[in-house]
Amino acid sequence: MLKISGKACLLAAGMGMGWSWAPLAAAEIRLADRADVVFADDASEMSLVLIDDQKKMCRQQERAWKQAQRDAARAQKAQERCQAKACRPERGGGFGDGLCSMGGWFTEELGDPWTLNSVLWDLDCEEPCFDIGGWVQVGYHNANDGTFNTRPDKFNLHQTWLYIEKVADGSDGIGFGGRIDALYGQDGPNTQAFGNNPGRYDFSDKFNYGAQYGWAIPQAYGEIAYDNLSVKVGHFFTLQGYEVVAATGNFFYSHAFSMNYIEPFTHTGAVATYTVSDELELYGGWILGWDSGFDRFNGATAWTGGFKVAIMDNMSFIYTSTAGNLGFIGDGYSQSMIVTTNLTDELTNVIGSDYVRTNQNVYAGNGDTFHAISAYNYLLYQVTDRTGVGMRNEWTKVDGISYHSFTAGFNFKPTANTVIRPEYRYNYSPAADNMAAGGRNPLGVTVNESILGVDAIVTF
């Protein structure tokens, strides 16, 4: 195989067709890493590999190498911390070994989690290959935090979650896939398609049980992919916001006010994702308003979309929005903006904001419109593979009333399938009171109160 530049290839092709051009400087024709040209007796069999593919492959390999280096450095640091702090010899003998054993429980590598797939079939299953899994989340909190944790002083089963998924792979032509999620527990009623007409889909008394328990089907969609484009059609989670409904997707046990009150949870419709490059993804689609489940409340029809861009190697920016007839919250516009920065291999900073304005009064505020804005910050530090600490601070303003919330928490993984998340939360508002929902407290939440909580999640 002879390597010549793409420019040299064009010169050779043009010469055969009688073209003329100004001479190129030798420096402009690079003979390495530009293009691979394979010559054959039949000109139609000549092949050419362009520089863009080579550069992309090099970038991917470089990123994989850097990630491997970071993982190795993190493991080395964990081992050094164990040896330096937990394994110091103690007078009298034996105690140092005990500290080392305890330290290892917090610092040693986790290994791979157990999964249902490992029981059902091996990793090389033939097409169609489905991924089946889920988790169970239980928790306790001493006060109502105004979001998902609204049944205090009790041991609560928040989420019993099961999903089945086939990822649509478009790397080798057209690929098909889809996903269905089912949820039972305290979080079920809060995750139903409550933007529906009552009695439609899972927004029905048939899905609810006593003590705030219920079922929900938050996702049920099909997916088609081709090359860098994929399209979901059906019922799916929103693009907006930083936190998610699934307990496994969040650092904290509790949820932010902004996530619970001024972001949608789900949509019904179609949404496309197009990967332009390693640095840029585009989103766009049509939905039946907020929190809809195969139903169209009040003629809802709206846009959803946005983009994700890598500003630097360690920083990304996401913008997403909805606009149009958003269903039960009226006609209007909403947006979410998130900047995520990996300050170090262990320390991550997230700054985000939500905004929504519609012509429909949603909560118990004054007036006949819905206007809300928020700003939030997360600082998350991964101490070891098993332990992490984090802080969340937010300000949310709904219909003229400001709410503040500060949360500090700790994550501990005793096994690869288990995480325990204790936290302290303080809700504060300078204007709202602790009365029932009304003008001074449109969300109707308890404020100026400290809340302690802890949960555990076991995945399978």
Phi, psi of 83 (to 5 degrees): -70, -40
* pLDDT confidence of residue 430: 86
* pLDDT confidence of residue 288: 98
* pLDDT confidence of residue 49: 40
In DSSP terms, which residues pair with 163 in a beta bridge?
Answer: 133, 181
Q: How far is CA 93 from CA 99, 101, 102, in A?
A: 11, 14, 16
Find the helix or strand (DSSP H, E) in which 217 lies: strand 214-226
- C-alpha torsion angle, residues 139, 143, 144, 150 (rounded to 10): 30
Range list of H helices, 44-90: 51-81
pLDDT at 138 over 50: yes
pLDDT at 437 over 60: yes
pLDDT at 319 over 80: yes
* pLDDT confidence of residue 56: 53
Name the residue with tokens 């195989």: 1
Per-domain residue ranges of the chain: 2-49, 52-107, 117-459
With bands split at pLDDT 50, 70 and 90, how would you rate the model's confidence at 120?
confident
Task: Write the burial class of residue 124 (CB in 10 Å: 0-12 exposed, 13-18 middle, 19+ buried).
Answer: exposed
Which amino acid, residue 312?
Answer: M
* pLDDT confidence of residue 88: 41
* pLDDT confidence of residue 274: 98
Find the helix or strand (DSSP H, E) in which 397 lies: strand 387-398
pLDDT at 183 over 50: yes
Contacts of 18 (CB under 8 A, 6+ apart): none
CATH domain 117-459 topology: Porin (2.40.160)
**Region 373-381 average pLDDT:** 98
With bands split at pLDDT 50, 70 and 90, how would you rate the model's confidence at 95?
very low
With bands split at pLDDT 50, 70 and 90, how would you rate the model's confidence at 394?
very high
pLDDT at 37 over 50: no
* pLDDT confidence of residue 55: 53
pLDDT at 50 over 50: no
What is the chain's mean pLDDT, rounded?
Answer: 84
pLDDT at 385 over 70: yes
